[in-house]
Structure 1
């Protein structure tokens, strides 16, 4: 057989980085640190000697052995059409992952990863709760090369899809920056976010778990209040001075929370850059821990624009997406934010660039009937009455003061109903809502997987209905894609219209 007739050599198997066992060990220590500490203190409190004192060391030694064995038994091979992964010592497994199945490539670098020049790689597909492959860890160059390879094959798949759709199938190999956040923009992001409050609440919850005695916490709060009151009495501030001091303390608390939010935003979004290479979006961000995640635009299932009151003060919005990838919705390494903060024009331009041929924002929104506010208000009346009755039973007539919330609730429902609306054209279905905090939710009609017409007992009484629309992987974002409080006949007509459209088109995801 001549050299020309010889079959091509199979690609060689590769191992993880030589320090991968150390990172696996650290991950396992985080999981087993509590049992190891319990063993350590249990042996000391029991006054026993011998193997009880060595139990933590034996446990750590076992974890080291498992980590080293995982390094020697984990192999991967990059082939022409996919990646093959072999793992296991006693129970061996082999997994074939086609490139076409990989929807997202995530690279994560903690501060320790950056010191060793390595990265953690996650290959994710649609629908799964776990990644297709979790490589802990690869050298940074190998991780970037693997990402480029998956991106290249993803571009070929998108090119083939474009040819099938009648396009010319050309791929732009140049990298293009779509959005980069400056330090000033990240500071604005920290000011409009509530990350500081979330961290404060988590810290308070942790203290509550560490000190579950309510009397201890109540006594500490009472002592602090008495000391503050005594100090104020010595200064002879009077009620105006005390009120001013309380406002100053509250203002300082809010200022510290916002300062914490800014620090967290700088840590998480420093160097944020959204780029597009070979029809694949890539986001890089992070000051200490660097996160790099990529996804093909065709995997985007739904879009979410948000504009809170603080956003409007700064003239900004945020743009998030749902993607057809697996993993937990709260995973910080998952690509969800295309524009954590940007001007309204930049958000709209980004959506138009990734949705060529679509009309965004819609030229005309179809509003809900003005009396839809009554349907929204009626849903909150029952809960208000229940809360008022419970407080009146405990506090007497003072509990009925809760009913003063009803006029404000009616006004808020009236304002929100004036903002609610929807738009349906040949390409997009969009919903908008909110008053104090405004939002826009939209998706391509070809990405819709299910329609549901829902009517509660209150809807049947008032003659309204809500239309729910589901896309792949779009369950973690709030609010969901739905058109609420439509007149029942209009809802049924829209349901039938979208149903006929979906039946005549092929699902794209």
Structure 2
């Protein structure tokens, strides 16, 4: 134990297999897309070979980072030095590390190594991505971070044996285990295959060379008919069959995406944090400190309702917030039965009692403002169509006047349902907001997590003596659904703001 500890406390390089995984990462992220693009978008020539060769040289240069990457596991911090020409020297106290995320692909599991990502409150991108380290380093770092965040006055050296004993006594409390059947359901609910299908369709539409090669390949299996020589009924049958095949293919892609990401998803509560594990080929293990969770979000769409299920996501303070930056852990429950949602969230955060939330509706007159927006949109569509009608290759004047009879009932239906399905609630502990006509979402924020309270008044709001109240938390993504209550009566908006301000003044900010 002492020898291992001395080795980890001194300067260390990444694992000896690290160059292999760095090379694989670079090839997959850089060389493969470049080679594929050059192959499909133009004819292969000597210039393309030069570009690929240059990319290979530049990518291989990244392998040198292995020899220039060193780290030290000190008693109270991790120290990292990296960089060839531009040196970086970072010292990250364990108390600043919020999440310790671990990823293992199949090859890494065989070689008993993993990619380690450390997140702090700085946000945006990981504090460090270590590709790759041994599993003993992962466990040691997790232990040090956990001990440092336990608010104990003892040092890691003095408490290492106590922590080991506590770990044996601590029993994992599994909050959720998602079965393979439910993962398949979630794949269908997510419809991610439609997104990938749109990308494929866009690629084929812009790439005639690849399209011709694909058609030539498909001719080996079946003959594409000449639609000018077949009957209308035969054409309908053919298009229907092809459409059905494409639909099934896209559903399979959605299910495959869900299985790859959420296979054997399980989340457990360990004292002051959550531990999530998931993945089919690449296993992901993510740590989520409970005190860092800023917002809970419940999502539903028509397919959620069909399966009587819901999806629960979270936002945390700092850490990674985009997939391009690193491992994103925002899934608290990819899929869960509707009746279990309230109990599940209460186990995670006892102060959020969904079952006792008494939603307050927006002012009744708010539907008129929403309806007016629908009218303005209809007028805009009509103006665009009238403009297009003056072009020589458009002749739609006889159909333009159907815009209002078609869009106005839809605008009326949307306005009424918008007000009906939008609501808010607040008490001494939480503030909540729900919205969505077809795709419903509910956001829950603890009062103690609020950083900023904003009241927005547009010219239309001032005319109607209304306002929009918006809540901001640490690390929140304002592009996603959050607490932003529109069409409030002006005095109600200020009443809510004053109530929250008074609560925040009497409590310490906890993020």
What TM-score, normalized by structure 2, do the two folds share?
0.82
- Counting only pairs closer than 5 Å after superposition, residues 31-46 of structure 1 correspond to structure 2 as 32-33=30-31, 45=45
Quickly say closer, same or farther: Cα 1:70–1:250, change in 2 above 3 A: closer
Larger CA deviation: 307-316 vs 294-303:
307-316
Q: Deviations over 1:225-269 (max 9, x none)?
A: 983464334xxx3xxx87677566545443332222112211211
8 Å Cα contact 1:154-1:296 kept in structure 2: no
Quickly say closer, same or farther: Cα 1:196–1:376, change in 2 above 3 A: same
1:112 corresponds to 2:112: no
Q: Deviations over 1:449-483 (max 9, x none)?
A: 11111122222233321101100111156223211
SS of the residue 1:189 aligns to: helix
1:192 corresponds to 2:189: yes
CA distance in 2, matches of 1:444, 1:248: 52
Quickly say closer, same or farther: Cα 1:253–1:84, change in 2 above 3 A: same
Q: Tell me the residue number matched to 2:401.
A: 400
Larger CA deviation: 177-186 vs 146-155:
146-155
8 Å Cα contact 2:320-2:327 kept in structure 1: no
Quickly say closer, same or farther: Cα 1:35–1:226, change in 2 above 3 A: closer
Q: Tell me the residue number matched to 1:440.
A: 442
SS of the residue 2:124 aligns to: coil
8 Å Cα contact 1:175-1:278 kept in structure 2: no
1:75 corresponds to 2:70: yes
- Counting only pairs closer than 5 Å after superposition, residues 94-113 of structure 1 correspond to structure 2 as 94-113=89-108
Q: Tell me the residue number matched to 1:178.
A: 175
**Unpaired runs of 5+ in structure 1?**
1-7, 160-169, 218-223
CA distance in 2, matches of 1:338, 1:413: 32
SS of the residue 1:264 aligns to: helix
Q: Tell me the residue number matched to 2:218.
A: none
SS of the residue 2:355 aligns to: coil
Pick from 278, 292, 303 the counterpart of residue 296 of structure 2. 303
Pick from 207, 228, 249 the counterpart of residue 210 of structure 1. 207
CA distance in 1, matches of 2:213, 2:175: 54
8 Å Cα contact 2:275-2:286 kept in structure 1: yes
1:18 corresponds to 2:9: no
Quickly say closer, same or farther: Cα 1:59–1:399, change in 2 above 3 A: closer
CA distance in 2, matches of 1:190, 1:97: 38
Q: Tell me the residue number matched to 1:124.
A: 119
Q: Tell me the residue number matched to 1:507.
A: 509
8 Å Cα contact 1:104-1:325 kept in structure 2: no
Superposition deviation, residue 152 in structure 1:
3.6
Q: Deviations over 1:366-404 (max 9, x none)?
A: 111222211222223212211111113323241232321
Quickly say closer, same or farther: Cα 1:366–1:123, change in 2 above 3 A: same
Q: Deviations over 1:9-31 (max 9, x none)?
A: 99322221101112222333445
8 Å Cα contact 2:359-2:423 kept in structure 1: yes
Q: Tell me the residue number matched to 2:392.
A: none
CA distance in 2, matches of 1:10, 1:225: 64
CA distance in 1, matches of 2:71, 2:323: 28
Superposition deviation, residue 187 in structure 1:
1.3
Superposition deviation, residue 53 in structure 1:
8.1
**Unpaired runs of 5+ in structure 2?**
1-5, 155-165, 215-222, 389-395
CA distance in 2, matches of 1:212, 1:502: 62
Pick from 272, 280, 302 the counterpart of residue 287 of structure 1. 280
Q: Tell me the residue number matched to 1:341.
A: 335
Q: Tell me the residue number matched to 1:254.
A: 247
8 Å Cα contact 2:101-2:327 kept in structure 1: yes
Q: Deviations over 1:278-310 (max 9, x none)?
A: 422111111111111111011000111012111
SS of the residue 1:231 aligns to: coil
CA distance in 1, matches of 2:426, 2:475: 21
SS of the residue 2:20 aligns to: helix
Superposition deviation, residue 79 in structure 1:
1.8
CA distance in 1, matches of 2:455, 2:287: 35
8 Å Cα contact 2:123-2:475 kept in structure 1: no
SS of the residue 1:275 aligns to: strand
Pick from 4, 24, 27 the counterpart of residue 25 of structure 2. 27
1:231 corresponds to 2:234: no
Pick from 396, 412, 415 the counterpart of residue 417 of structure 2. 415
Q: Deviations over 1:66-105 (max 9, x none)?
A: 52x4223322121221111123455544311111111111
Larger CA deviation: 486-495 vs 392-401:
392-401
Quickly say closer, same or farther: Cα 1:232–1:147, change in 2 above 3 A: farther
Q: Tell me the residue number matched to 1:452.
A: 454
What TM-score, normalized by structure 1, do the two folds share?
0.83
8 Å Cα contact 2:299-2:312 kept in structure 1: yes
Aligned length: 473
RMSD of aligned alpha carbons: 3.6
CA distance in 2, matches of 1:436, 1:123: 38
Pick from 367, 370, 375 the counterpart of residue 376 of structure 1. 370
Q: Tell me the residue number matched to 2:131.
A: 136
